[in-house]
């Protein structure tokens, strides 16, 4: 059986605070959270432990991607389980879907580690990835998301 866990990491030329802020505001999540050519829309957002967000990721019209929710849409709800400013974000995510292969609660842990005054490492770990998501696809998507975050933090918006 394949592992239902993935881990990605990337070093950013940004402060831990800038990275934490990016992951805890709806407007920035819309800019970088969708991997590759996908786009994102935050429908609801409430910062705080027990709060969270409802978000959709959209596949481009030209792609062969089929959404977990409908058409070209992956809609999900993420709950903030733990928030440690500038250090840690833990969420629980469930997809809006009729397909049992994508059901269940997936956990994401974002660890923010300062390296020096100008550099910060971000580690993202997903646990309990639904059976319908191939871990290697999740890993690739996370890498693309971190690349978008890097560009966003550098002001390439």
pLDDT score of 155 more than 80: yes
Residue 26 φ/ψ region, left for φ over 0, alpha for ψ in the -120 to 50 degree band, beta for the rest: alpha
What are 31-41's pLDDT values in tens digits?
999 999 999 99
Which of the two residues, 64 and 53, has the higher pLDDT score? 53
C-alpha angle 119-36-33 in degrees, rounded to nearest 5 = 60
- Predicted confidence (pLDDT) per residue in 87-136, tens digit: 999 999 999 999 999 999 999 999 999 999 889 999 999 999 999 999 99
Q: Identify the pLDDT of residue 79.
A: 98
* pTM beyond cutoff 0.85: yes
C-alpha radius of gyration, the chain, whole number: 15
pLDDT for res 2: 57
- At 13, is the pLDDT very low, low, confident or very high (cuts 50, 70, 90)? very high
Measured CA to CA, the distance from residue 40 to residue 27 in angstroms comes to 10
| Sheet with 73-84, edge to edge strand ranges | 6-12, 120-127, 106-114, 88-95, 73-84, 52-58, 39-46
- Residues 110, 111, 117, 119: is their CA dihedral positive or negative? negative
């Amino acid at each position: 059986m394949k592992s239902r866990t993935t881990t990605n990491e990337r070093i950013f030329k940004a402060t831990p605070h800038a990275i934490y802020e990016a992951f805890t505001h709806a407007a920035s999540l819309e800019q970088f959270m969708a991997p590759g050519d996908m786009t994102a829309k935050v429908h609801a957002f409430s910062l705080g432990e027990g709060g969270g967000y409802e978000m959709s990721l959209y596949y481009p019209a030209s792609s062969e991607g089929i959404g977990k929710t409908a058409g070209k849409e992956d809609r999900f709800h993420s709950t903030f389980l733990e928030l440690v400013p500038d250090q840690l974000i833990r969420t629980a995510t469930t997809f809006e879907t009729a397909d049992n292969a994508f059901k269940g609660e997936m956990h994401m842990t974002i660890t923010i580690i300062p390296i020096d005054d100008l550099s910060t490492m971000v580690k993202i770990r997903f646990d309990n990835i639904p059976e319908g998501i191939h871990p290697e696809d999740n890993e690739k998507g996370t890498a693309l998301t971190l690349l978008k975050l890097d560009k966003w933090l550098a002001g390439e918006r």
